[in-house]
Amino acid sequence: MIYLIFSILFSTLLFVIFKYFDIYKIDTLKAIVVNYLVAFGLGFGLSEITFSFNEIPQKPWFFGAIILGALFVAVFFVMANTAQQNGVSVASVAGKMSVVIPVVFGIILYDESVTYFKVIGVLIALISVYLASVKEEKSTLNKAGLLFPILLFFGSGIIDTTLKYVEVNFVKNNEASLFSGSLFGFAAFFGLLILLIKTIQKREPFGLKNIIAGIVLGVPNYFTIVFIIKAMQKSGFESSTLFTINNVSVVVVSTIVGLLLFKEKFSLKNKIGVALAILGIVLVTIA
């Protein structure tokens, strides 16, 4: 349970850091690339086992790490486009409501339990994510803009599902750091390719503040992945329960942090959403 709590807290910290990115006008792409490099270094530096780099391509999770690294970068860009075209609240809702995908796959692939409490809890959780995330602003969902929320929904869900599949079938308990560092390394590689293409199109200095921002982001981002993997390995929760608790809790805690730290407006819908989220988590946990 402690790993799940830390995953929720570090995920919320990422929300806070991204908020400050906007305040201090950080180049998000550059910071994200640095962040992946930092997380890559931490993964190998904090590995629980001794290893040789030559051994990594032989690991059973190697190709899973490549796929997840590519997905991390792709979903990030989809998330950015969703936020720009449809608003931050739409991006948040689309990303977190994707929890339904790993829940369904957990039931299908791992024969996880299906009870009335769990079904009702997940439905309440989905409603709570929407209500807790939605802001009192009008978002235009034209036909072109609707594509990105849909891609974000499926992309985020595929990441959670793939992470669970690779962890269950290929990652040993003492290889969480090594696996996490590897997938961040591949994410850094794909991010650098994109950055190189953009630099060729438009040359500009990297900027010291972007490097610092990337380092600040990279540390909690790394531990977010490590803790969610550890939670899957040791919490005792089924994945359908784990991802529901994690995603909904992140939305609730992030909403409360936004209220207290950034003085964001807390509407009646948000209050109802937080209350329903707590109810949903309780129902899923006792299922």
**DSSP string covering 17-69, please?**
HHHHHHHTT--HHHHHHHHHHHHHHHHHHT-SS---GGGGGGSTTHHHHHHHH
Determine the 3-state secondary structure of 175 from DSSP. helix
Residue type (1 letter), 244 = T
What's the whole-model pTM score? 0.83
What is the rounded CA–CA span in Å between residue 225 and residue 197? 28
Mean per-residue pLDDT of the chain: 84
What is the rounded CA–CA span in Å between residue 216 and residue 157? 26
Q: H helices within the chain, ranges in order?
A: 2-23, 28-45, 62-86, 88-96, 100-109, 116-133, 147-169, 176-201, 208-234, 239-261, 268-286
Span 245-275, pLDDT tens digits: 888 888 788 878 888 887 777 788 878 888 8
Domain of residue 237, residue span: 2-286
> Which tops the pLDDT comparison, 6 or 86?
6
Query: Could you give the number of structural domains in the chain?
Result: 1
User: Tokens 């992946």 belong to which residue?
Assistant: 36
Span 157-170, pLDDT tens digits: 999 899 989 988 99
Q: What is the CA radius of gyration of the chain?
A: 19
Q: Report yes or no: 176 and 48 within 8 Å, Cβ to Cβ.
A: yes
Residue 234, CA atoms < 13 Å, CB-side half-sphere: 15
Query: Residue range 45-73: average pLDDT?
Result: 90
Span 89-106, pLDDT tens digits: 667 777 777 888 888 888
Confidence of residue 144 (pLDDT cuts 50, 70, 90): very low
CA nearest neighbour of 242 among 182, 187, 185, 287: 287
Whether the predicted pLDDT of 115 surpasses 90? no
Span 171-196, pLDDT tens digits: 888 888 899 999 999 999 999 998 88
